[in-house]
Structure 1
Amino acid sequence: MLRFTCGYGEKPARTALLTLGIVTLWALFYLFGGIVHIANGSEIVINYDLATRLTPEPVQLFYDFLWALYTSVITFTSLGYGDLHPTGWGRVAASVEVFIGVFMVALFLFVFTRKMIR
């Protein structure tokens, strides 16, 4: 496990790449789990369902994925929500991502500091 995540404390790039992978994977969870974005007093719901929405417009899918990615970054770094929040099982995914995010940030700081000291 340590070999894969941080190269036994010697490779901060592995931790950074793993972090990017986790954030991107969780963005997909939010895309299908549901996000409510509040803009100008109105709520915009982003929630894709494979059974009913198989061919979304590519441009809209791209923008919705960017919102999901933004949600994932905000959740991973534990900054908190101001203009959006996950819904449905996306809330469970958010809880798991926060837990992983806290440990991944700590791991990255440890590995980066260890690399700089040597």
Structure 2
Amino acid sequence: NIPFDFTEATVGNVQLGSENGSGELLDQFRFCRTDFDHFDFSDHHSYLERNDWVLHEFSGNNATGDFSVEMTPEVIEETYRKAMTSANDVGDTPASREFEYKRFHYNRRKNLSLIRDEYSLDATTKAKKGASVVLNRVMQFTCGYGNRLPRIAALTFLLPLVYGILYVFGGPLETGAGVVWNAEDQLAVIGNGIYYSYISFSTIGYGGIGPIGWGAKLLAASQGMLNGLLFTLLTFTLFKRVLGGS
């Protein structure tokens, strides 16, 4: 197996293949700051999925390649940005989404590195980059930068369930649903707590059950704000999936 290091090279519209047809040819390649001139990744989706869409390092062998280019988060981010652009150019939406995910991931790592190591940055710039890091992390966790529809859907519809369980613990979290510890019908209390949580989250607020403890009031307020955030992210992810294809 001969490794091919395409660091700072240009890969055009070529067809890659192997004599044994193993489908693992790209294990021998590394793409770093590579210019993709309408290169089509679609023939290698199975390989890319298996290796978590990693392009910037060799897989399955001990090849080292050329380290004249330091593998910083900034360099790796640029690598996936170029790959994403190429995938878009040839209409390969699945590859484009995965490379976009990688690009945002390394963008966060780049900003963290700048905050930690770049002493010339003033406090305002560091604060802006810190806010960008936090937003980036939220987008990754909630919807995978708009590329993980099941993740945001599950979070949107299951998060109120977690709140509902918290409400029945009582104390600062007590609501009109009751407290599970001293209830005769504990299942009914849990059901009422979950019902109240979903009503609060959807901002319907029928008024049959209300918050009593200060903690419950804070949670109820936070649910109303999360409703707007999560449903906006869900809509964004849905439209991105529809417009970009399956």
Contact 1:7 1:14 (8 Å CA) reproduced: yes
* 2:191 equivalent to 1:63: no
* 2:183 equivalent to 1:46: no
* Displacement after TM superposition at 1:14 (Å): 0.4
Which among 68, 77, 97 is matched to residue 202 of structure 2? 77
* 2:35 equivalent to 1:35: no
- Which is greater in Rg? 2
Identity of paired residues, percent?
24
Task: Provide, for residues 64-98 of structure 1, a one-character-per-residue CA deviation record: whole Å limited to 9, x for no partner.
Answer: 11111111111111112332211112111101111
Aligned-residue Cα RMSD (Å) equals: 1.9
Contact 2:174 2:211 (8 Å CA) reproduced: yes
Which one-letter code corresponds to 1:17 in the other structure? A
Contact 2:202 2:224 (8 Å CA) reproduced: yes
Which among 77, 81, 101 is matched to residue 227 of structure 2? 101
Q: Which has the higher contact order (CA 8 A, sep 6+)?
A: 1
Please name the residue that 1:24 is paired with: 161
Count the aligned residue pairs.
Answer: 103
Bigger mean CA deviation after superposition, 64-73 or 18-27: 18-27
Rounded Cα–Cα distance in structure 2 between residues aligned with 1:22 and 1:12: 15
Q: TM-score, normalised by structure 2?
A: 0.39
SS at match of 1:35: coil
* Displacement after TM superposition at 1:46 (Å): 0.4
Rounded Cα–Cα distance in structure 2 between residues aligned with 1:110 and 1:90: 30
* Displacement after TM superposition at 1:114 (Å): 1.1
Q: TM-score, normalised by structure 1?
A: 0.75
Rounded Cα–Cα distance in structure 2 between residues aligned with 1:62 and 1:19: 24
Which one-letter code corresponds to 1:115 in the other structure? R
* Displacement after TM superposition at 1:17 (Å): 1.1
- In structure 2, runs of 5+ residues without a counterpart are 1-136
Contact 1:77 1:102 (8 Å CA) reproduced: no
Which among 9, 15, 18 is matched to residue 146 of structure 2? 9
Which one-letter code corresponds to 2:216 in the other structure? G
Distance 1:31 1:92, change over 3 A: same
Contact 1:9 1:114 (8 Å CA) reproduced: yes
* Displacement after TM superposition at 1:19 (Å): 2.0
SS at match of 2:205: coil
